[in-house]
Amino acid sequence: MSSINTLKKQILSQGELPNHIAIIMDGNGRWAKKRGLPRTVGHKYGVKAVKKVVRAAGEIGIKYLTLYTFSTENWKRPKKEVSAIMNLLYETTRRELNELLENNVRLITTGDIEALSPRRRKMLKEAIALTANDTGLTLNLALNYSGRFEILQAVKNIAVDYAKGAFKIDDIDGELFSSYLQTNGLPDPDLLIRTSGEMRISNFLLWQTSYTEMYITDVLWPDFDEKEFYRAIIDFQGRERRFGRVKRAKKSKGT
Ligand code: FPP
């Protein structure tokens, strides 16, 4: 079994790093159920995995890490579970703020955080403001996020600006569209990791993941650690990305 350091060295010597990694953190509930524990305990251990992965990403110089923390559909879960997740988010951000600052991590969010309680929203906004000048890893929490909603909002806002004469119809291209998304300013993810074996995108970054490499592992999120994270990156480094083109032909002499 390779150690964390061996995997880290392999990544750094092997090739290009993914610039932006997005993760669908799934399986907290199943992890808890397997142990006869309440689902909320699964989320608590899920936070431990978040910390390991954030640290591991920062250590190898990943620039952007987006975590699917809470989808708009997650509000439909039992009230007790929703408030447990929200409390974990609040407590973790508050407790880890100094560590984020010490490690030069910039915290941002994607999604509508206005729906969060005033106390939680205030604390998140403070953490975002305090880390705004950090230049290391950008940690993006997708919170109260829906890919379809984000696209619909973009379409509406584009229509409003078009009606105002801000641009012509032919100016609406991929770049302009992306600039109306909540992820404006972030590069598209290069690698999307999903834990717990489900083969779904679950309304996550629908526009942004068009050419993202997917890595799906059966490991449940609370068991996902530095080694699992580094293995996903090594797998990514072995992929050939063609973006819809054919394999690049080897250059022959004289061309
Ligand atoms: C998915 O597992 C997990 C979530 C919807 C919540 C993820 C949230 C955390 C790990 C806490 C967030 C904290 C920070 C600081 C980012 P699931 O409940 O859907 O699992 P299941 O599919 O096995 O039921």
Ligand 1 pocket mutation pick from 74, 95, 221 by most atoms within 8 angstroms of CB: 221
Distance CA(207)–CA(233), nearest Å, equals 22
Residue closest by Cα to atom 7 of ligand 1: 69
Ligand 1 pocket mutation pick from 24, 26, 39, 87 by most atoms within 8 angstroms of CB: 26
Whether 23 is in the pocket of ligand 1, judged by its Cβ within 6 Å, is no
3-state secondary structure of 141: strand
Whether 222 is in the pocket of ligand 1, judged by its Cβ within 6 Å, is no
Whether 86 is in the pocket of ligand 1, judged by its Cβ within 6 Å, is no
Q: What pLDDT, on the 0 to 100 scale, is given for residue 169?
A: 98
Whether 141 is in the pocket of ligand 1, judged by its Cβ within 6 Å, is yes
Alpha helices in 103-146, H assignment, sequence order: 118-130
Q: Which residues pair with 139 in a beta bridge?
A: 65, 107
Q: Where are the domains of the chain?
A: 16-145+188-237
Most distant CA pair in the chain, distance: 69
Q: Please state the atom number of ligand 1 nearest to the C-alpha of residue 47.
A: 10
Concerning whether 74 is annotated as a catalytic residue, the answer is yes
If you measure from the C-alpha of residue 81 to the centroid of ligand 1, how many angstroms do you get, rounded to a whole number? 10
Q: What pLDDT, on the 0 to 100 scale, is given for residue 253?
A: 39
Whether 144 is in the pocket of ligand 1, judged by its Cβ within 6 Å, is no
Q: What pLDDT, on the 0 to 100 scale, is given for residue 157?
A: 98
Q: Which residues pair with 208 in a beta bridge?
A: none
- Spell out the residues 6+ positions from residue 202 whose beta carbon is closer than 8 angstroms to its own: 24, 68, 71
User: E-strand spans in the chain?
Assistant: 20-24, 64-71, 106-110, 138-145, 191-194, 213-216
170: amino acid identity, one letter: D
Concerning whether 26 is annotated as a catalytic residue, the answer is yes
With a cut of 50, list the residues of the chain below it in pLDDT: 250-255
Annotated catalytic residue, options 5, 19, 26, 171:
26
Q: What pLDDT, on the 0 to 100 scale, is given for residue 248?
A: 60
Distance CA(185)–CA(171), nearest Å, equals 19
Whether 47 is in the pocket of ligand 1, judged by its Cβ within 6 Å, is yes
Phi and psi for 180 in degrees, rounded to 5? -95, -5
Residue closest by Cα to atom 10 of ligand 1: 46
What's the fold here for domain 16-145+188-237?
Undecaprenyl pyrophosphate synthetase (3.40.1180)
Q: What pLDDT, on the 0 to 100 scale, is given for residue 242?
A: 85
Q: Which of 106, 1, 103, 15 is nearest to 59 (CA)?
A: 103
- Spell out the residues 6+ positions from residue 210 whose beta carbon is closer than 8 angstroms to its own: 188
